[in-house]
C-alpha cells in the first residue's frame, strides 16, 4: 500500500466504502506514484514494464519443475483451449491447469482489446490514462507468469490461441463503453479475479501437495499477480462514485455466475456462491499479509 514500510493499519474497511470526489482524485495520484515505483519504466512496444521484466527473468533464471509430469499430459493439451472430455474425469492438477488457461485467455483477450482502445503513454494527457496504460502492461505480464505456471508442470507446448470472433467483439465493444457504464463492471471484474486468486491459493496445498517445490513456485507466481490485482481492485474502485458503487455491488452475483458458467471446470474446483459472498464482503484484511504489505489500497478503505 502507499506507506508499505509502515505498520499495516489495524482495521481495513470494505471495498464498497464511500469515497468523496476529492479523496478519489488524491488516490489516483497516490496510485500513480505507487505503480511507477513498483513497476519502473514502461516498455510500450513490448507491452511490458522494466520491473515486471526483471521479476520474470529472475524466475526463469532459476526454473522449478515438478518431479513428475501430469498423469496424462495429452489430456491437458486436448482440453486446455476447449473442453473435449468430461472435466469430472480429470485428475485435480489437470483440472486446475486447464481452468487457469481458460481464465487467463479470457484476461488476455480483454486486455488486448483494451490496449487498442487506450492512448499510448506519449499521448496520454491525464493521470488516469497513464495509469490505464501501466495497468494493461501489468496484465500482460500476468499472462507471462501464468505461462511459467504451465512450464512448472512440464507443459511446454502451451500456446495462447487468439479468441474467436464472438469473444473478440464482446471485449472490443466493452472497452469502448463510456466510463459511467464501463467502470462498475470493470471494477467487479477485478474483484472477481482477486477473489479467484485467493481461492486458488487456498486449494494449492490440496491439489499440489505431493509436489511441494512446484506448488511453492506456483504460489510465488500467483502472489506476484495477486499483489497487482489487489491494487487494481482499489484503482478501479476509485473511478466509481456513490451511485456506481451500489450498482457494482448488485452486479457481483450475476457477473460471477455468468462468467464461471462458461468455464465448466470452475464448479468442480470452487464454491462459486461462497466466492460471491466473499466478494460482496471484501475488505483488505482478508489478504495474505505479505501481499498486503507490498500492494496499495485507497485511503477511504483504511481507518
* Domain region containing 94: 21-301
In a domain, 7, yes or no: no
Answer with the residue of higher pLDDT: 166 or 32.
Answer: 32
| 72 has pLDDT over 90 | yes
In a domain, 13, yes or no: no
Q: What does each C-alpha distance from 162 to 118, 141, 244, 260, 274 come to in angstroms?
A: 20, 17, 32, 20, 32
Residue 117 banded pLDDT, cuts 50, 70, 90: confident
Contacts of 65 (CB under 8 A, 6+ apart): 151, 152, 153, 154, 214
Answer with the residue of higher pLDDT: 147 or 13.
Answer: 147
Question: Is 66 within 8 Å of 58 (Cβ atoms)?
Answer: no
Q: What is the pLDDT of residue 65?
A: 98
Q: 31: which 3 cell numbers?
A: 496510485
In a domain, 216, yes or no: yes
In a domain, 73, yes or no: yes
Taking only the tens place, the pLDDT of each residue in 228-239 is 999 999 999 999
In a domain, 144, yes or no: yes
In a domain, 36, yes or no: yes
Question: Is 238 within 8 Å of 19 (Cβ atoms)?
Answer: yes
- Region 185-208: what's the mean pLDDT? 97
In a domain, 271, yes or no: yes
Give, as one character, the DSSP assignment of residue 302: B
Q: Rounded to whole angstroms, how far apart are CA atoms 194 and 212?
A: 24
Q: How many domains does one find in the chain?
A: 1
- Region 114-140: what's the mean pLDDT? 94
184-208 in b/e form (b: 16+ CB < 10 A) is bbbbbbbbbbbbbbbbbbeebeebb
| 8 has pLDDT over 80 | no
| 241 has pLDDT over 50 | yes
| 68 has pLDDT over 80 | yes
In a domain, 58, yes or no: yes
Of 143-157, 178-192, 199-213, minimum mean pLDDT range: 178-192
Residue 137 banded pLDDT, cuts 50, 70, 90: very high
Q: Rounded to whole angstroms, how far apart are CA atoms 142 and 47?
A: 11
Question: Is 199 within 8 Å of 226 (Cβ atoms)?
Answer: no
Mean pLDDT of the chain: 92
Amino acid at each position: 500500500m502507499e506507506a508499505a514500510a509502515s505498520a499495516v493499519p489495524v482495521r481495513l474497511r470494505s471495498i464498497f466504502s464511500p469515497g468523496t470526489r476529492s479523496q478519489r482524485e488524491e488516490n489516483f495520484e497516490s496510485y500513480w506514484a505507487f505503480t511507477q515505483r513498483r513497476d519502473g519504466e514502461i516498455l510500450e512496444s513490448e507491452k511490458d514494464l522494466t520491473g515486471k521484466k526483471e521479476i520474470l527473468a529472475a524466475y526463469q533464471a532459476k526454473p522449478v519443475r515438478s518431479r513428475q509430469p501430469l498423469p496424462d499430459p495429452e489430456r491437458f493439451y486436448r482440453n486446455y483451449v476447449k473442453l473435449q472430455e468430461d472435466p469430472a474425469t480429470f485428475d485435480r492438477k489437470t483440472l486446475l491447469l486447464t481452468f487457469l488457461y481458460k481464465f487467463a485467455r479470457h484476461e488476455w483477450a480483454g486486455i488486448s482489446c483494451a490496449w487498442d482502445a487506450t492512448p499510448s503513454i506519449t499521448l496520454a494527457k491525464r493521470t488516469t490514462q497513464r495509469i490505464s496504460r501501466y495497468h494493461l502492461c501489468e496484465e500482460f505480464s500476468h499472462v507471462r507468469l501464468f505461462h511459467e505456471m504451465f512450464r512448472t508442470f512440464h507443459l511446454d507446448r502451451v500456446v495462447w490461441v487468439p479468441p474467436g470472433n464472438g469473444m473478440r467483439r464482446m471485449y472490443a465493444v466493452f472497452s469502448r463503453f463510456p466510463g459511467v457504464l464501463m467502470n462498475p463492471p470493470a471494477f467487479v471484474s477485478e474483484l472477481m479475479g482477486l477473489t479467484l486468486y485467493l481461492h486458488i491459493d487456498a486449494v494449492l496445498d490440496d491439489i499440489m501437495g505431493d509436489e511441494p517445490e512446484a506448488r511453492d513456485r506456483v504460489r510465488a507466481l500467483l502472489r506476484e499477480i495477486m499483489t497487482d490485482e489487489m491494487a487494481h481492485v482499489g484503482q478501479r474502485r476509485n473511478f466509481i462514485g456513490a451511485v456506481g458503487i451500489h450498482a457494482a455491488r448488485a452486479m457481483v452475483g450475476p457477473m460471477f455466475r455468468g462468467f464461471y458458467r462458461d468455464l465448466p471446470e470452475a464448479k468442480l474446483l470452487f464454491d462459486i456462491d461462497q466466492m460471491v459472498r466473499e466478494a460482496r464482503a471484501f475488505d483488505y484484511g482478508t489478504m495474505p499479509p505479505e501481499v498486503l504489505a507490498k500492494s496499495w489500497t485507497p485511503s477511504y478503505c483504511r481507518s
